[in-house]
Structure 1
Amino acid sequence: MVRWVRALVVGAALAGMITLAGVVLGRIYADPLLVRLVAGAAIGSVGLSVGMRRLPNWTVAPLSATVLGAYTIVGLKLAAGQADVTGPLSQIARDSLVNGIPRLLTAMIPVQPAPDTVVVPVIAAWLAGLAAAEVAVRARRVLLGLLPVVALYAGALYVVGPNASAAGWTTPAFAGLAIVALATSARPAHAEVPEVSAKLRGRAMAGAAAGLVAVIALGAAVGPWVGGQVSASPVDPRRYVQPPQVDSLDESPLNRISGWALSPEQRLFEVSPTGAKSRTVRLRLAVLPDYDGITWRVGATYRNAGRVLPQLPRLPDATTADVRQEIVIDGLTGRLLPVVPTPTEITGARIAFDAATGTLIRPEQLSTGLRYSVVSEVQTPDVNLLPAADVPSGNAVARFLAVGPGVPERIQRLADQLADGNGAAFDRATAIEEFLAEHYRKVADAPSGHAYPNLDFFLFGPRAQGGQVGTSEQFAASFALLARLTGLPSRVVVGFDAPAGGGAVTAGNAIAWPEVLFNDLGWVAFDPMPKSKNPRPVEEDFTPKPTKPPTPPSEPPTSADTSSSSAPPAALAAATDGGPGAAVIAGGASGSVVLLLAGLALALVVMRRGLSRRRLTVGTPDERIGGAWAELRDALRLSGRPLPAHLAATEAAAYAKEPSAVRIRRAAPASEAAPLPPLDELVAGINTVGFAPGAADDAQADRAGSQAVAYATALRARRSWWRRVWWSLHPGPLRWRRPL
């Protein structure tokens, strides 16, 4: 009777410890189904071994494996029903067993309990219970029997990684159950023999003392390392597993725009009504953030997800609305699923989700008749904040500013021209949008392509030869490229304009559009599509027209000439009359305007020089070096190519020396084409200010200021005469903000 009680207590402790491993793992799952299945596996495996402890041990493993198979089938059926996974049960079981581990490690958090995400934990829990019960109950080696359970618990902690809060109560409970199992299995002490008891007690005390010393030494050696690991972030095993990837068809859906434009009546899918007040609602198919000068690519990290998707952070001052829509696929191919951004729940299809872009992909190819329902949360930022909004900088957005090498010179010059005089980020984006909308036409039969040669021909090719026309592919790609060249983080999006009242979405509804990232406003879409059927040729606004040299003034008349008979009679009469004529009055008014403009120009020049003098001579060395850096930034901005805020000092110096940043005017003297002055002292000063504040001295500040002035002077000298005049009179430096 006592042995049965001990076996039951040890078995209950083992089942409880395995269940706790399921509780730990269940923290990253969307609902408690996994915990229930693991608890059932723990009770079934341990209970079967305890109940068969009187039978030969060779009969337990085959019977337990048979029961495991039946229990696994039941668990897979429950998970498939809850996850809406359809198909033959044999196919579901085979797919889950083959792909269970990679899909578990690539699943989106929270993990949807599906056949392929529960099968591995259930089988592992059953096997751990079987091994632990056989060793701890049948062989009565409880300490050794705890090893499989401890390994299961450690594996659960490893799989969870940093994706859930710390396991507060589960670990003490796990340790407590282990102590109960060990205490229950302790055997009673034998009766002492008087003649040997003293020796045994002495040996026991010596062994206990040695063990205590060893434990203390081990604690002193390992304790600091263990303490450091408590506060360290655990390793996420998902970093070692390759998530699902897109194929060539979905890598750049932008290439499909031209093909869809040629077959505008082709039915792609059906949508249900959304209840929106507008005539159309825009669905997103793919987001393309990466450009190498040849192709805009998806570049997303898709992870297997369940019905519930993680919500994106809320934008401040944005209005939100839930949109529910049912979509039925007709002729759309590929694996990408069109949805209203950003989806938060999906039913009817197994998907993988990219949290950065809010786009969905299916593991299998789309098929006619596929039906799925989506709940999306639409966030609408306050557009009134756009004119004053800035764009983010730094490594976080470097991906959205990168372009491939070899940007065509004409495209770079166009970007410089559009940025010239548009200091605010929204102003630059609007200038690009309006330029494309006013000078180019949309045609359905334009050839596909958005590499540098394609965009160069689209922007500047002769109209008679097919230039300056394109589909939304070229409009969106050109906007995004020009935006990046002017310092705006941008990307291209491919999607569809679907009827808000529901109905068929055809290939003619496919569209690409650009988006720009603003602080606190998120990604904002722009529309560079043409607004007129007769746009102006690009040559009217981009190619500079030659300026007519001013006519030299005529010789002023001498006093003898005033009495000449060639003078008009009216002029002579006015002169003899002594009263002011019309010419005199007009000349006086014009002179007043000229004097006013001259005074304003003089005031601007004085204020600009005073600003430069204060920057470079007033304040601590750190402040003067910061002023020199501001002089460099203003010079580049005045030249039409603002310095991107995300560049480090060394990168900024290299950027300032690029040929595209220092355009030389036509017919410039050879001296003006010489290399620009170096900026090494300025870069060293900025690095000193940034990494060792207060370490700079007056001499270093003087050298940084001298280089900034020399660079600005040389850069100004490369401009045409009227641009040099405007350089000195531009009021922008008096109001521009200049972050270091």
Structure 2
Amino acid sequence: MLRAVPVPFALVVLTALAGVVLGRVYAGDLLTRLMLGAALGSVLVSVAARRLPSWLVAPVSVAAMAGWTAFSLHLAARHADLTGDFGPIVADAARNGIPRLLTAMIPVEPAPDTVLVPLVAAWLAGLTGAEVALRAGRTLLGFLPPALLYAGALYVVGPNADPATWPSVAFAGAVALGLASSGPRGAPEAADPTAGLAPSVRAAVRARLVAGTALGLAVVVGLAALLGPLLAARVDERPVDPRRYVEPPRVESLDENPLIRISGWALNPEQKLLDVRTQAPAGAESRIRLAVLSDYDGVTWRVGATYRNAGRILPAAQPGAGPVETVRQEITVADLTGRLLPAVATPREVTGARVAYDPASGTLIRPEGLSPGLRYTVTSARERPDVNLLATADVPAGEEVARVLRVADGTPEPLRRLATQLAEDNGAPYARAAAIEQFLAEHYRVVADAPSGHAYPNLNFFLFGPRGGGGQRGTSEQFAAAFAVLGRLTGLPTRVVVGFSSRGDGPVRAADAFAWPEVLFSGVGWVPFDPLPRPDAEPRPVEEDFRPTPDDPPPSEVPEPTLEPTATPPAVAAPDRPADGAGVPTPVLVGGAVAGLLLLVGAALATLAGMRRAQSRARRERGDPGERIAGAWREVTDALRLAGRPVGGDLAATEVALRARQALADARATTAGGPTAGAGANARPAGPGGLGEPTGPAPRGANVGLGAGVPDGGGSAPYGPALTAPPRAATVDGPDVDELATLLNQVAFAPGTATPAQADRAAAIAEEYVAALRAARPWWRRLLWSVHPGPLRWRP
């Protein structure tokens, strides 16, 4: 009886070790304990049911798995403080388990949607291994499912934890124990397969055993000699992180650039946005941060965040040199819309709402969107910069801060001259920042009815436009954006923050919304500045302290405002990733392990196909019309790349359309058995990624290239190039890709003018073209087309 214990014990240990490895990226040890329970339950059910018919074991084990999974999800829901009915929570976990596991921020919160997949995988691995090892008597083959589970856990963890040294040693030890205890036992005849045979037959059998053993040993030694150096060379390499293949939650354009909402809020000052209750040190004013905008392309400021699903505890940022205060706020949403979740900087714990988080900026979102009555609690670590260090503090430089030092092309010459003038007599970084702050506060006026807009032409008019014509006046949007641009022109790393001022407890209204700039100082951290003038101050004319050269004509027209919508459109939930799960295997014989492996491969391929379909649907159906047209264009360029005909980023949209028609014609000719037309002698080579990035702005009237960004109208320039239809070339019967190229040019040069009908037309063209190009491929390439992982990781 005792000799039958080691194999089940080894199976439990092997399955539980996968939970130990995976639990290293989870907060706390709840997942490890739940996976240990799944390992014990699956193996014990198989041991107890050994005398039952083989066909009855799987249903009994699956019923036990359902009970343990329901109990575990209940514990995880309580641990994560999730409220609501248990049924919808379980349904949501089953629907979104895989994508949320791969987009969750480290450490992962043990919640129903992040523990369901590991639990089910652990139970199925224990069931498969126990049936093959105990019922079929194939111990080594029975250890294969736990080994695959262990390898999968290592892959999911990736580079996000230290090497799993001791779990791997324990895994090897458990395998050795199980194999050593599973040898032949009972009568001597069972131990000696040649007993009772004739001497000549016995000699032949023994010779075959010796030859087989020698051959197996030679194969093992050969594999060790061949694979050993290759594996040793990869010891110091960084593992692949599977999270890079899954697209994080996306936000709407107003959440990507909330700076354009300032003017709308200024016109409705009494609108109630939030209710706040604060626990903070007495006398300290709290700024509630909505979003941090670090990217500026000369047209609009953007958050540019990569949001990861997070639990209650958020990862800590790099500490500054000043003291840290703990601020606790209970916030109730009123009329605030979108997905951005307001919080005092820098949030450390959030309860009452599921959030996604960008550690680089400290910006929070609620993927489901805000709704009136939503109540959540935020505990933040607010830093107080040491002002005594600012006078001598330097600013960082290099690749780590290149993002907040970048100056977009096309900067107006007056802005450059003003920045040079302000920096001439102020060598120290803090002195330059203070000079910019003082200049803006002394020369400009804050008004509530100023039009929105912070593109280069808008800022140029704000700084140097005639007072009588609407210049030299604006909201905090123009003050903060002008400070940030002037700061970058003088070598200061800057960013713009949008948020609200709060006096402690009570309502936060639209009049409390404002934007402010921040500057990064070495050893101090991000320091906010206030370039807004005092309410009772009379601005001094700009001409007294800065006079443009006579070569610069004064602005003659007011820049076009950025239109603020009357109501924020409802947030659209990010596309859910399909969670394809393997069916319940019943491997009662030796072939069970092989069937399980095939099932895992099939599940992986189905998951890839589902992720590809969700990606295509999100590109064509999510976002505003401009984003949908750009997504349809990405579908066409990805299809060309899948067909082996990538296009470079130096090509205009019309040139790409010509290449697309030629690629379809060539594919159809090849399928029909005719001659294959080449791309042409004048074809330009594709870049290494197939999608390039332009080195400068597109000329007036030109077609936008593939690498050009598609602005969403966050800040409109006063003038735009004339839109012209692309020239028609000889084409084949098929989708009108030229029309899609025309729509892409419209989005690039006239942002905000695309209509939903045009977006629907672009999606239809892209879908028709991709289907036609795929249909012209050989049958085996059509099978690989839908599961190719390239489009999930290719970047524009």
Aligned to 1:302: 307
Percentage identity across paired residues of the two chains: 61
> Does structure 1 conserve the Cα–Cα contact (< 8 Å) formed by 2:289 and 2:345?
yes
Number of the residue aligned with 1:517: 520
- 1:264-295 per-position Cα deviation (integer Å, ceiling 9, x unaligned): 11111111133333352111110000111111
d(CA) in 2 for partners of 1:58, 1:209: 39
Q: How does 1:372-521 map to 2 (within 5 A)?
A: 372-500=376-504, 502-521=505-524
Aligned to 2:258: 253
CA contact (8 A) 1:30 1:111 kept: yes
1:265 paired with 2:262, answer no
Deviation at 1:405, TM superposition (A): 2.2
- What stretches of structure 1 of length at least 5 have no aligned partner? 547-653, 656-740
**Deviates most, 396-405 or 445-454:** 396-405
* 1:653-686 superposed Cα distances (whole Å, 9 cap, x missing partner): x99xxxxxxxxxxxxxxxxxxxxxxxxxxxxxxx
Q: Are residues 1:351 and 2:355 paired?
A: yes
Q: Matches of residues 40-119 of structure 1 in structure 2 within 5 Å?
A: 40-119=37-116
Alpha-carbon offset, residue 194 of structure 1: 7.4
Q: How far, CA to CA, are the matches of 1:445 and 1:173 in structure 2?
A: 69
Instruction: List per-residue Cα deviations over 1:129-178 (Å, max 9, x = no partner).
Output: 11111111111111111111100000011111111122122111111111
Matches within 5 A, 1:681-692: none
Gaps of 5+ in 2: 186-190, 551-694, 697-796
2:139 aligned to 135, 138, 142, which one? 142
Task: Quote the offset at 1:198 in angstroms.
Answer: 4.9
- CA deviation after TM superposition for structure 1 residue 296, in Å: 0.5
Q: What is residue 609 of structure 1 aligned with on the other side? A: none
Q: Distance in 1 between matches of 2:325 and 2:416?
A: 40
Q: Which residue of 1 is the match for residue 297 of structure 2?
A: 292
Which sits farther off after the overlay, 389-398 or 196-205? Answer: 196-205
- Secondary structure of the corresponding residue to residue 344 of structure 2: coil
Task: Identify the residue that residue 555 of structure 1 maps to in structure 2.
Answer: none
Whether 1:12 aligns to 2:12 is: no
Which residue is 1:37 aligned to?
34
1:272 aligned counterpart, secondary structure = strand
Work out the CA distance in 2 between the residues paired with 1:359 and 1:506. Answer: 21
Structure 1 letter corresponding to 2:455: A
Which string of whole-angstrom CA distances, capped at 9 and with x for unpartnered residues, describes residues 179-226 of structure 1? 122122211412645725555555444444443333333222221112
Tell me, what secondary structure is at the counterpart of 1:285? strand
- What secondary structure sits across from 1:169 in the alignment? helix
Question: Which structure has greater helix proportion?
Answer: 1
Please say if 1:216 is aligned against 2:221: yes
For residues 120-199 of structure 1, the aligned pairs below 5 Å read 120-188=117-185, 189-190=191-192, 192=195, 195-196=199-200, 197-199=202-204
Aligned with residue 527 of structure 1, among 513, 518, 530:
530
Aligned partner letter, 2:492: L
Does the aligned pair in 1 maintain the 2:462–2:473 contact within 8 Å?
A: yes
Which of 1 and 2 has higher RCO (CA within 8 Å, sep 6+)? 2
**1:228 corresponds to 2:225:** no
The 3 A distance-change label for structure 1 pair 364 and 413 is same
**Structure 1 residues 14-33: Cα deviation after superposition (integer angstroms, max 9, x where no partner):** 11211111011111111111
* Alpha carbons 2:281, 2:325 under 8 Å: kept: no
User: 1:286 is aligned with what amino acid?
Assistant: A
* 8 Å contact kept, 1:7–1:50: no
- State whether structure 2 residue 235 is matched by structure 1 residue 238: no
Structure whose alpha-carbon radius of gyration is higher: 1
CA pair 458-209 structure 1, distance change in 2 beyond 3 A = same
Q: 1:74-131: per-residue Cα shift (whole Å, max 9, x none)?
A: 2212111111112222211111111111100111111100010000000111111111
Cα distance, 1:474–1:544 mapped onto 2, change above 3 Å = closer
- Counting only pairs closer than 5 Å after superposition, residues 305-324 of structure 1 correspond to structure 2 as 305-315=310-320, 317-324=321-328
Residue 339 of structure 1 is matched in structure 2 by 343
CA–CA distance in structure 2, aligned partners of residues 164 and 545 of structure 1:
59
1:14-73: CA deviations, max 9, x gaps? 112111110111111111111121111111111111211222211122222222223222
Matched, 1:274 2:279: yes
Q: Which amino acid aligns with 1:170?
A: P
**Cα deviation, residue 469, structure 1:** 0.8
The CA distance in 2 between the partners of 1:520 and 1:314, in whole Å, is 9
Q: 1:279 to 1:30 in 2, by over 3 A?
A: closer
**CA–CA distance in 1 between the matches of 2:215 and 2:150?**
31
Deviations 1:309-356 (A, max 9, x none): 1111222x3211211221111121111111111111111111111111
3-state SS in 2 of match to 1:249 = helix
Q: Distance in 2 between matches of 1:276 and 1:510?
A: 22
Structure 1 counterpart SS, 2:235: helix
- Greater shift in the superposed pair: 138-147 or 198-207: 198-207
Secondary structure of the equivalent of 2:58? helix
Contact kept, 8 Å, 1:8 with 1:50, in 2: the verdict is: no
Verify the 8 A CA contact 2:94 2:113 in the aligned structure 1: yes
Name the stretch that deviates more: 185-194 or 335-344: 185-194
- After superposition, the Cα gap between the structure-2 partners of 1:208 and 1:454, relative to the gap in structure 1 and judged at 3 Å, is same
Give yes or no for contact 1:274–1:325 (8 Å, CA) kept in 2: yes
Q: How far apart in 1 are the matches of 2:3 and 2:348?
A: 50
Q: Which residue of 2 aligns with 1:22?
A: 19
Deviates more, 1:246-255 or 1:380-389: 380-389
SS in 2 for 1:278: coil
- 2:442 and 2:382 mapped to 1: Cα distance? 30
Q: Is the 8 A contact 2:280 2:326 kept in 1?
A: no
What is the one-letter code of the residue matched to 2:129? Answer: A
Q: Deviations over 1:226-268 (max 9, x none)?
A: 2122222211111111111211221111011111111111111
Aligned to 2:542: 538
User: Whole-Å Cα distance in 2 between the matches of residues 212 and 18 of structure 1?
Assistant: 28
Structural RMSD (CA): 2.0
Distance in 2 separating the partners of 1:159 and 1:218 = 27
Alpha-carbon shift at residue 421 of structure 1 (Å) = 2.9
Please tell me whether the aligned partners of residues 45 and 127 of structure 1 are also in contact (alpha carbons under 8 angstroms): yes
Counterpart secondary structure, 1:406: coil
Counterpart CA distance in 2 for 1:34 and 1:296 is: 41
Shift, 1:533, TM fit:
2.4
Amino acid of the residue matched to residue 445 of structure 2? R
Q: TM-score, normalised by structure 2?
A: 0.66
Distance in 2 separating the partners of 1:18 and 1:424? 60
